[in-house]
């Protein structure tokens, strides 16, 4: 399988936590370490009068009190405050925001006043995640130290660039840089504290990169990994629609006095009538479900759902009435399609859908019994993608080729939101590029301060999947006619122009995923081995001085 090589007092708590995910290396300049602790561009700042926190909030105590340390590195309480609030910001502004809200997190209230579990607050939970991040950062930084690795000019320039961004964010909100940082990352945090955190994280990244660079796998390894883990690769496409009881109009009581005099016997009759009505209604839904399940192809499935929505669910409502209710039947019909779904759980449907003997356009009907009602869902399995390299009629794995390309953004925000001005700027970039007409020339332009956005060195996105930038860009990049050296300017609505340079094809998607998984597994082993012999200690007093950002 893998060809990865192994690498040649009182109240203090010794950390023994586990690896939390450094192995998911991003391509180019976008740093994995920075993804947790870097600047949260969408952070919401509550601007107002600064309260007088005194010496405590000035950060003097925090900067002179240790919160964590390893043999050669230290994290002060002020630095830990930055790590803590960066972790919090990442959670509430990232993809998990809706889930956290579902879990009961109220971002307008202090974390320490909200219960996460029986014996933990949300503050405790965020602190646990922050400590895991700090521990891993210190362990990896020690690995870099042991190898004699040091930050070079490139890393120092990137850190400086990130720190300079604070001035822009502060100007945007019409506040001082110091005030911006204290509101987003904690009252005791200064730009110097942020700089130390970034330096430490970049040191950790050096050792991470050193490990990852040693791991090399080939097609035989990828195939072996696929055979052992095919549930994570095999996908299906299907259509589905759920028939639910229609909403009943509230019946009006003509004689409230008579209603008040209803006898117990009458109530019993009513209950029996309701049960009969529910049974009849379920039978009607079953009839619709059976009709949909009898469809022989996708077009028939779509047509039936469209007719059902038009003639039953929204019967009697014209286009104007539907628009008033924000209903778009075409959009509802389109939602029937589910693409690229991997196996999740072990339900009757998944057992059916991921059966190797499944044939295209077969249907499956599932009765769901809820507390107050029942409904029917009809599924239709679709053929495997045309480019499938497997022998299954319905299951497939991603065999499309990912892409390598470079880009230079010309944001509307940089041209006073004037599209014509942005277009002229994009044209100028293309003219400058054509003076030399090489990939190196384009990369040099993408690295200029006045052009590239700094996320990817030389504007290079390697092994780019769909939606790396936008669907509009995807249309150009993934065009089968695209050839190495092609250049174009693409306008993305409400964003601006992207000047593109196509480098060429990259890895096949499923092989790329297998390669990353193998590298992550080997990395985790190497990290765990090194972490077992690397002491990281958290200081109770220093942790207790960590401050939440102001809420509300």
Least reliable range by pLDDT among 181-195, 281-295, 365-379, 444-458? 444-458
Give mean pLDDT, residues 254-283. 58
Supply the pLDDT for residue 552.
Answer: 58
At 83-132, the pLDDT tens digits run 999 999 888 876 666 677 777 888 888 899 998 988 999 999 999 999 99
Please say whether the beta carbons of 71 and 185 come within 8 A: no
pLDDT > 70? residue 276 = no
Which of the two residues, 404 and 164, has the higher pLDDT score?
404
- For residues 53 and 203, what is the distance between their CA atoms, to the nearest angstrom? 34
Average pLDDT over residues 127-149: 96
Interval 180-193: pLDDT, tens? 998 889 889 999 99
The predicted pLDDT at position 452 comes to 63
Across 45-49, 91-95, 168-172, 449-453, which has the greatest mean pLDDT? 168-172
Residue 437 backbone zone (phi > 0: left; psi -120 to 50: alpha; other: beta): left
318: exposed, middle or buried (Cβ count in 10 Å: 0-12, 13-18, 19+): exposed
Instruction: Give the model's pLDDT for residue 58.
Output: 72
Read off the DSSP letter of residue 105: -
pLDDT tens across 483-494, in order?
Answer: 999 999 999 988
Task: Compare 5 and 243 and report the one with higher pLDDT.
Answer: 243
Q: 416-434 pLDDT, tens per residue?
A: 788 999 999 999 999 999 9
Is there a contact between 386 and 498 (Cβ–Cβ < 8 Å)? no
Give CA–CA dist 536/70, Å, rounded: 5
Q: 474, exposed or middle or buried, with CB in 10 Å at 0-12, 13-18, 19+? A: middle
CB 175 within 8 A of CB 534: no
Six-digit token pair at 249? Answer: 């109009």
The pLDDT of residue 235 is: 97
The predicted pLDDT at position 518 comes to 97
Q: What's the pLDDT score for residue 550? A: 76
C-alpha 216/C-alpha 225 separation (Å) is 14
Residue 503: closest CA among 527, 521, 487, 519: 487
CA distance 87 to 136: 14
CB-CB contact of 451 with 429 (8 Å): yes
At 352, phi and psi to the nearest 5?
-70, -50
- Highest mean pLDDT out of 95-104, 161-170, 533-542: 533-542
pLDDT of 267 over the 90 cut: no
Tell me the average pLDDT across 344-353. Answer: 93
Indicate if the pLDDT at residue 1 is higher than 60.
Answer: no
* Contact between 200 and 75 (Cβ < 8 Å): yes
User: Of the spans 103-112, 171-180, 193-202, 278-287, which averages the highest pLDDT?
Assistant: 193-202
Q: What's the confidence (pLDDT) of residue 40? A: 34
The neighbouring-strand residues paired with 240 are: 379
The whole-number pLDDT of residue 49 equals: 32
Nearest CA-CA partner of 493 in 476, 477, 475, 473: 473
d(CA 249, CA 269) in angstroms, rounded, equals: 21
487-492 vs 460-464, strand pairing mode: unpaired
pLDDT given for residue 195 in this prediction = 96
Quick one: pLDDT band at residue 280, thresholds 50, 70, 90? confident
Per-chain mean pLDDT for the chain: 85
15-24, 210-219, 365-374: which has the highest mean pLDDT?
A: 210-219
Residue 167, helix vs strand vs coil: helix
Distance CA 382, CA 361 (A): 5
Please state the pTM of the whole predicted model.
Answer: 0.75
Give the contacts of 425 (CB within 8 A, at least 6 positions apart): 410, 414, 415, 497
Phi/psi of residue 406, nearest 5 degrees = -115, 155
The most confident of the ranges 21-30, 54-63, 330-339 is 330-339
Phi and psi at residue 32, in whole multiples of 5°? Answer: -65, -45
Alpha carbon dihedral 146, 152, 157, 163, in 10-degree steps, equals 20
**pLDDT classification of 457: cutoffs 50, 70, 90:** confident
The whole-number average pLDDT for the span 377-403 is 97
Separation CA 520–CA 32 (nearest Å) = 13
Query: Of 456, 485, 483, whose CA–CA distance to 469 is shortest?
Result: 456
Q: In what order do the strands lie in the sheet with 13-15?
A: 13-15, 536-538, 66-69, 74-76
Q: In the prediction, which pLDDT does 57 show?
A: 61
- The pLDDT-based confidence of 256 (bands split at 50, 70, 90) is very low
How far is residue 96's CA from residue 268's CA, in Å, rounded to a whole number? Answer: 48
């Amino acid at each position: 399988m893998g060809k990865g090589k192994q690498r040649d007092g009182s109240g203090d708590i010794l950390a023994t936590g586990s690896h939390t995910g450094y192995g998911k290396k991003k391509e180019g300049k976008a740093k994995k370490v920075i993804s947790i602790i870097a600047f949260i561009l969408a952070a919401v700042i509550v601007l107002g009068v600064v309260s007088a926190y005194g010496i405590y909030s000035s950060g003097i105590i925090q900067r002179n009190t240790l919160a964590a340390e390893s043999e050669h590195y230290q994290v002060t309480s002020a630095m830990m405050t930055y790590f803590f609030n960066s972790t919090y910001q990442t959670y509430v502004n990232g993809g998990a925001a809706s889930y956290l809200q579902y879990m009961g997190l109220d971002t307008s209230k202090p974390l320490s006043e909200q219960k996460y579990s029986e014996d933990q607050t949300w503050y405790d939970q965020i602190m646990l995640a922050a400590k895991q991040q700090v521990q891993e950062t210190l362990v990896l930084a020690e690995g870099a130290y042991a190898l004699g690795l040091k930050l070079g000019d490139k890393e120092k320039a990137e850190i400086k660039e990130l720190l300079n961004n604070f001035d822009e964010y502060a100007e945007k909100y019409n506040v001082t840089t110091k005030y911006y940082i204290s509101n987003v990352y904690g009252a005791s945090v200064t730009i110097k504290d942020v700089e130390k955190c970034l330096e430490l994280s970049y040191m950790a990244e050096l050792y991470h990169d050193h490990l990852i660079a040693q791991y090399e796998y080939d097609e035989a390894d990828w195939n072996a990994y696929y055979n052992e883990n095919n549930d994570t690769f095999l996908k299906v496409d299907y259509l589905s629609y759920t028939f639910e009881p229609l909403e009943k109009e509230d019946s009006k009581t003509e004689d409230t006095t008579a209603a008040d005099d209803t006898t117990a016997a009458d109530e019993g009759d009513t209950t029996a009538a309701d049960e009969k009505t529910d049974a009849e209604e379920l039978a009607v839904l079953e009839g619709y479900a059976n009709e949909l399940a009898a469809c022989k192809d996708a077009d028939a499935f779509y047509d039936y759902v469209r007719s059902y929505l038009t003639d039953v669910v929204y019967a009697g409502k014209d286009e104007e009435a539907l628009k008033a209710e924000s209903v778009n039947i075409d959009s509802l019909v389109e939602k029937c399609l589910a693409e690229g779904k991997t196996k999740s759980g072990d339900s009757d449907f998944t057992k059916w859908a991921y059966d190797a003997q499944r044939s295209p356009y077969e249907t499956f009907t599932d009765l769901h019994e809820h507390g107050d009602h029942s409904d029917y869902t009809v599924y239709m399995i679709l053929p495997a993608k045309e480019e499938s390299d497997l022998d299954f009629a319905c299951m497939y794995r991603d065999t499309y080729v990912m892409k390598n390309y470079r880009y230079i953004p010309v944001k509307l925000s940089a041209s006073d939101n004037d599209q014509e001005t942005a277009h002229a700027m994009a044209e100028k970039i293309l003219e400058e590029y054509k003076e030399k007409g090489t990939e190196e020339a384009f990369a040099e332009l993408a690295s200029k301060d006045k052009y590239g956005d700094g996320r990817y060195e030389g504007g290079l996105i390697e092994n780019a999947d769909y939606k790396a930038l936008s669907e509009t860009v995807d249309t150009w990049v993934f065009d089968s006619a695209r050839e190495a050296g092609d250049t174009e300017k693409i306008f993305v609505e409400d964003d601006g122009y992207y000047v593109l340079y196509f480098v060429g094809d990259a890895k096949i998607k499923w092989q790329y995923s297998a390669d990353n998984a193998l590298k992550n597994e080997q990395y985790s082993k190497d990290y765990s081995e090194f972490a077992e012999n690397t002491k990281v200690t958290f200081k109770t007093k220093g942790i207790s001085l960590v401050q939440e950002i102001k809420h509300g």
